[in-house]
Amino acid sequence: MYGHILIAVDGSDEASRAARHGLALAELFDATVDVLSVVERRALRLARDADETDRLRERGDAALTTAAAATADRGQSVERVRCEGRPATEIAAAASDRDADLVVVGRRGATGVGDRLLGRVTEGLLGRSPVPVLVVPDAVGAPAYDQVLLPTDGSTRAEAATPHAAAIADRADGAVHVLNVVDLQAAGGLFSAGGLDQAFVERLEREGRAAVEHTTAGVHEAAPDLPVEEQVVRTESFTGVAAGLRDYVTDEGIDLVAMGSHGRSNLTRTVLGSVASATLRTVDVPVLVVGREL
């Protein structure tokens, strides 16, 4: 599944944590690794003199050295790459040019009002990357991939993540949790404010179970002996499906979420589906986002 992994670093704590997870995943799949640092061309243009320009490039080199040093105890070989330009564009281009199977980046922490930030580079990359992107939050612990959550709404776009979830859990001797979240707030918006008819809710849950069963069949096709936990849950949160995923991640000790970038309700979105975007800002475990073209 992953023979070549590209890890983007910038010297930040978020990027360092992401690098540790990317290296652990590379070890799991015996993958080769490139670590990439992008010096922003805009910053170079703002440099006052050659000394400032040199310091910017040295900072990029230092980030590469720190990331590569983390491989010393693992016996992994890492190629260091420094380039200049727009970070999201350069990372996506490097993934394509270097035939990477996966890109690993960090995610910012919480703001003062409690909202998570993806960061300009991470969000831009998710709309450009030709390969799946693993987004690692700053609050994450040590790398672990035993319990992998695979959300599904029955759409082919959501199911793009199925082989990835199966491969990772299988390599880690873990399990996949296939989950459908019934969003009662969204469903209620289609009808009167007087509440949802019980028969209608039960139909949504039946459709959810059918989606889960179909996705489970895909997991077993990829990894026949892999344990699978099937669940359909309801959420009444105004933050929708992402809230149901967050609660499940917490309650079930999930290590990794693998999901398609777009689901059934996001067919008109051109960058990142609303559920994927909200999940990336909500959960405190790594999220593997698999794009629509994969």
- Spatial separation of the C-alpha atoms in residues 104 and 18, rounded to whole Å: 6
The pLDDT, as a whole number, for residue 99 is 96
Burial of 198 (0-12, 13-18, 19+ CB in 10 A): exposed
Q: Is 119 helix (H, G, I), strand (E, B) or coil?
A: coil
The pLDDT, as a whole number, for residue 48 is 61
Q: Which two tokens stand for residue 211?
A: 């989606």
The pLDDT, as a whole number, for residue 240 is 82
Q: What is the CATH number of domain 144-294?
A: 3.40.50.620
Q: Which residues pair with 216 in a beta bridge?
A: none
Q: Architecture of domain 1-141 in CATH? A: 3-Layer(aba) Sandwich (3.40)
- Spatial separation of the C-alpha atoms in residues 190 and 234, rounded to whole Å: 17
Please calculate the CA angle 192-198-200 and round it to the nearest 5 degrees: 70
Return the exposure string of 122-154: e unless at least 16 CB atoms fall within 10 Å of the residue's CB, then b. bbbbbebbebbbbbbbbebeebbbebbbbbbbb
Can you give the residue ranges of every domain in the chain?
1-141, 144-294
Walk along the chain (294 residues) and give the pLDDT tens digit of each residue: 999 999 999 888 888 889 999 999 999 999 999 999 998 867 666 666 676 776 777 777 788 888 777 776 667 778 999 888 888 999 999 999 999 999 999 986 443 333 444 667 888 888 889 999 999 998 788 899 999 999 999 888 888 999 999 999 999 999 999 999 998 877 665 554 456 678 888 888 999 999 999 999 999 999 999 999 999 998 887 778 889 999 999 999 999 999 998 644 433 333 446 788 889 888 999 999 998 553
The pLDDT, as a whole number, for residue 22 is 93
Question: Are both 1-141 and 144-294 of the same fold?
Answer: yes
Residue by residue, DSSP assigns 95-116 as HHHTT-SEEEEEE--B-TTS-B
Q: Which two tokens stand for residue 64?
A: 């590469």
Instruction: With both helix axes pointing from N to C terminus, report the angle between 162-171 and 13-29 in degrees, rounded to the nearest 10.
Output: 80
Burial of 189 (0-12, 13-18, 19+ CB in 10 A): exposed
The pLDDT, as a whole number, for residue 229 is 98
